[in-house]
Structure 1
Amino acid sequence: MPSAPFLRRLLASAVIALSLASCAGERPRQQLPPGQPIETAEQSREAKLCLAELDRTGSPYRALPDRYFGAGCQTLNTVQLDAIRGDDGQFALTNLGPVTCPLATTVSQWARFGVDRAAREILGSPLARIQTFGSYSCRNVAGTARRSAHSRAEAVDVAAFVLADGRRVEVLSDWNGGSAEERRFLRVVQESACKRFGTVLGPEYNAAHRNHFHLEMRGGSFCR
């Protein structure tokens, strides 16, 4: 009959063998690289309501997957806004990346009921295109350690407006240097933006905004 020490050694060997077999059968966990789409729960009620509201604007868009990029940068509840529906067709968009659904909805309404109408009344021609410097960018507010709204796709920078008659009204050159009508147009569209967005920054805010309007959803009606 085997001795007790021999039986204990035999039992220990069996346990180790089973443990190694179990480990051999495990699949290593996959580490997703930054920016990889994540599996999320069903969209929140708020997100669904926003997409329904964006549908009502008639502007074509594509819903995008939620992404976390690390370091406080993310694109959650975002869409790719392909164009903006106007009264007589669509307004093209230049260089616009992912934007949050609420931002896309507000930009659509501003373009149609603010910019286009101002262009018709002041400059005598409908809006054809809005040119931007983009939306999402993983960066800080200039000169600070605080993340910009761009790092969450909650802001867009608008540089110029192209009219149906071919004219281009640019924030940089026309805010002070354009015709009287062009200067008035730019100020009217900024005032219109201030009624819709939480934060609007333009050439009179600081030198960093001399060439664009910064339109952001967050903020307490800060308009400069």
Structure 2
Amino acid sequence: MDRRIIAALSLAAMVAGCIGAPEQTARAPSRNTGASISQTPQGRACLANLGTTQAGFTPLADQYYGAGCSTLGAVKMAWLKGDDRRLEVANLGPVTCPMANSLQHWARYGVDRAARQILGSALVRIETMGSYSCRNVAGTSRLSAHATANAIDVAAFRLADGRRISILGDWNSSSPQTRAFLRTVRDSACKRFGTVLTPEYNAAHRDHLHLEPGGPRPLCR
């Protein structure tokens, strides 16, 4: 095959890997600085706060992926902490430390307690659709918060009694308790994250809650 054709195909593949790509196909880092969140005062303070929650996590080295995509000041969560147990978190990649802190507090004080009070069973697992992914906001040329590990998509919650409450299947459930639980965890998320998008926002969010720090104007829909 002509070398110019090969080069063009390679370039196209790289671009496709950064726009709308699923998390599992995120590109290899173009630069690893060797720095980590623990090397700055703000980072150490964030890690200390996260440590007091008894969540399990590992600080990650800063990574640059090109095209504005990066995981800086990030951690990898092994588990979250509920009132009386460890909470599993599924399919979660790197997240910035502040996002991890917000997720931990939401899981314990928002989701776990709502599950106990409204559904009568403790939370055991939060199922996500991932965090870091080098891509743009769908239908735009604007880089997604996922591209800097500043967003998490939550798909479902597993309870101790075996029930699985999903955004796709239960947002408009015939059960008043299930609907109340999901609205309560939504409202709790809106207190801890700057942007919370739900199935009521648009069809693209019909199967998950999108959580991110957001900007100066909170958005909860």
TM over 0.5: yes
Paired position in structure 1 for 2:93 = 97
Q: Report the equivalent of 2:43.
A: 47
After superposing the two structures, state which structure 1 stretch, 70-79 or 42-51, moved more: 42-51
Q: What is the alpha-carbon distance in structure 2 between the residues aligned to residue 61 and residue 39 of structure 1?
A: 18
Aligned match for 2:106, one of 102, 107, 110: 110
Structure ranking higher on relative contact order (CA contacts 8 Å, 6+ apart) = 2
SS where residue 139 of structure 2 aligns?
Answer: coil
In the alignment, structure 1 residue 34 sits paired with structure 2 residue 29: yes
> 2:31 and 2:142 mapped to 1: Cα distance?
24
1:221 — aligned with what? 218
Q: CA deviation at 1:38?
A: 1.4
The residue that corresponds to 2:22 in the other structure is: none
Identify the residue that residue 8 of structure 1 maps to in structure 2. Answer: none
1:178–1:72 distance in 2 versus 1, CA, 3 Å: farther
- Cα deviations across residues 70-90 of structure 1 (Å, max 9, x unaligned)? 000000000001110111111
Alpha-carbon deviations, 1:50-91, whole Å to 9, x = none?
011111111000010000000000000000011101111111
Give 1:79's aligned amino acid. V
Aligned to 1:122: 118
Cα offsets for 1:137-179 (capped at 9, x unmatched): 0000010000000000000000000000000000011001341
Determine which structure has more spread, i.e. the larger CA radius of gyration. Answer: 1
| Structure 1 gaps, min length 5 | 1-32
- For residues 40 and 191 of structure 1, what CA distance do their matches in structure 2 show? 36
Determine what percentage of the aligned residue pairs are the same residue.
57
| Matching residue's letter, 1:34 | P
Counterparts of residues 145-164 of structure 1 (less than 5 Å): 145-164=141-160
CA distance in 2, matches of 1:218, 1:86: 25
Counterparts of 1:213 and 1:35 in 2: how far apart (Å)?
30
SS at the partner of 2:98? helix
The one-letter code sitting in structure 2 at the alignment partner of 1:59 is: A
Moved over 6 A (4+): none
Relative to 1, partners in 2 of residues 1:35 and 1:163: Cα closer, same or farther, differing over 3 Å? farther
Q: Helix, strand or coil: the match of 1:82?
A: strand
| Match in the other structure for 2:21 | none
Aligned equivalents of 2:140, 2:174: Cα separation in 1:
33
In the alignment, structure 1 residue 131 sits paired with structure 2 residue 127? yes
Alpha-carbon distance in 1 for matches of 2:214, 2:186: 16
The answer for the alignment partner of 1:209 in structure 2 is 205
TM-score of the aligned structures, taking structure 2 as reference length: 0.84
Return the alpha-carbon distance in structure 1 between the equivalents of residues 125 and 96 of structure 2: 20
SS in 1 for 2:146: helix
Q: Following superposition of structure 1 onto structure 2, how do residues 54-93 of structure 1 map, counting pairs within 5 Å?
A: 54-93=50-89
CA distance in 2: counterparts of 1:173 and 1:58, whole angstroms:
32
Q: What code does the residue aligned with 2:61 have?
A: P
Other structure's SS at 2:156 match: strand
The structure with the greater share of residues assigned to strand is 2
User: What's the secondary structure of 2:129's corresponding residue?
Assistant: strand
Corresponding position: 1:190 with 2:190: no
Structure 2: unaligned runs, 5 residues or longer: 1-27
TM-score (norm 1): 0.83
